[in-house]
Amino acid sequence: MSVRAAEDLASGDHACAVPVSDEQLWELTARFLSGGLRRNEKVVYFDDGTSERVLDRLTEDRMPVAATLRSGQLQVVPADVTRGAFRSPVADVRALLHSYVDGSVAQGWSGFRMTGQMSYGADAPAGIPMTAYDAALDDVVRERRLAALCLYDHGHYTQEQIERMRVAHREELTAPAAYDDGLLRITQTGVTAVRLAGEADHSNRPVIHKLITDTLDRALRSADAPTDIELNLASLRFIDVAGAVALVHAAEEFPSSHRLVLGDVRPGVQRVLDRCGAPFATQLLVREARRPPARLPEPADGPHGPRERRLAGAPLEGAGNGSRPEQDAPDDTDETDASDAVDEDPRRERATEGAAG
């Protein structure tokens, strides 16, 4: 099996990925979907309770989520349709995929790509092994030249199921990280630029401090390196008080020739930084995050609606179990007040305020 990066996947490719953490799961998914959006492809995500996190990450990556949902370029297939597919004969699923791909071509998109959370099929609810559905998908990939990414994360699949599906794929994607402890994921995005995703607390604070000092040291030793040490915090959902204080203190130790730049900072994280002295650190620059994604629109009947409804069948008992609660988000037509929306868990914020006091 060959191993490639997510951004290299193109039409005619069918690969799997086995994320080691939730943050890597969202990173791989967003890279794959955004690659299709940039190529003017039709992009479809088969949901089963995870679409909100995927849309969050796409927005954090500065993709036009609301606009692509409205145009139909980005489509989220409802969970009951995703699950219904695994209660249907393989031939029906193959026909459904054909209709999706052919419909996208008829609508003028340059290609088609799909991924999603499909762990419901791992236990073969219709007595059909997941490998049979995957083989049908592989046939459609070859026939219609679409791109497909199958995700098998440890939170939804057993190790035995993961290994079985790995064997069924020719390629596996990877997204290397500088650090990933399951809580915080750090990826290098440039010579003096990194991205932090997840949560920063006492367990990974020393890693962040070392990251900053090592990056600054490299910048000081290179005449061509940028003078800004950039930490993209778009996907950092929580930071404790001690972590915020550590960032402020790290910036205060910078020479006057260099700055620590915190980019795309979420409102809740910024409030903690402000309370810990960030506005008074001369070598620290904090840039606010862009607005969060809009809610998913209600699914409308489209060219594939009737077949989707047939495959969905009757609702499954407990189908909502494990789904992420719907987040409060501003209407996508309101651009002015959206920056006030906070994604952080309110329990986290109250705990932070208590610690700060």
Calculate ∠ Cα 301-306-309, nearest 5°: 95
CB 208 within 8 Å of CB 243: yes
CA distance 92 to 79: 17
How many CB atoms within 10 Å of residue 325?
Answer: 7
Beta bridge partners of 115: 45
CB 7 within 8 A of CB 118: no
| Token pair 């990877």: residue | 174
* Overall CATH class of domain 2-175+295-326: alpha beta
In this structure, which amino acid lies at residue 167?
Answer: V
- How far apart, in whole angstroms, are the C-alpha atoms of residue 3 and residue 315? 38
Alpha-carbon torsion (291, 237, 44, 296), positive or negative: negative
8 A C-beta contact, residue 201 and residue 238: yes
Sign of CA dihedral 162, 164, 165, 167: positive
Question: What sign does the dihedral 110-111-115-116 (CA atoms) show?
Answer: positive
How many alpha carbons fall within 13 Å on the CB side of residue 222? 13
Q: Are 83 and 48 in contact (CB under 8 A)?
A: yes
> pTM for the complete prediction?
0.74
Say which residues have a Cβ less than 8 Å from residue 74's Cβ, sequence separation at least 6.
33, 37, 43, 45, 65, 68
Q: Which CATH superfamily is domain 179-291+346-356 in?
A: STAS domain (3.30.750.24)
Q: Sketch the domain layout of the chain as residue ranges.
A: 2-175+295-326, 179-291+346-356
Q: Evaluate whether 158 touches 195 at the Cβ level (below 8 Å).
A: no
Predicted local distance difference test score (pLDDT) of residue 93: 95
**Distances 104 to 68, 147, 303 between C-alpha atoms, Å:** 14, 13, 10
- Residue 219's Cβ-side half-sphere holds a number of Cα atoms within 13 Å equal to 21
CB 295 within 8 A of CB 59: no
d(CA 74, CA 68): 5
Residue 29 DSSP code: H
2-175+295-326 and 179-291+346-356 have identical folds: no
306: Cβ–Cβ under 8 A, 6 or more apart, which residues?
none
- The strand pairing partners of 239, in sequence order, are 200
pLDDT tens series, the chain, 357 aa: 444 567 678 899 999 999 999 999 999 999 999 999 999 999 999 999 999 999 999 999 989 999 999 999 999 999 999 999 999 999 999 999 999 999 999 999 999 999 999 999 999 999 999 999 999 999 999 999 999 999 999 989 999 999 999 999 989 887 789 999 999 999 998 999 999 999 999 999 999 999 999 999 999 999 899 999 999 999 999 999 999 999 999 999 999 999 999 999 999 999 999 999 999 999 999 999 865 444 444 444 444 444 343 343 333 233 333 333 333 333 333 333 333 333 333 323 333 333 333
SS3 24: helix
Quote the pLDDT of residue 7.
Answer: 67
Q: Where are the alpha helices (DSSP H) in 235-326?
A: 241-252, 267-275, 305-312
Please identify which residue in the block is written with the tokens 């040490």: 229
C-alpha span between 316 and 312 (Å, rounded)? 9
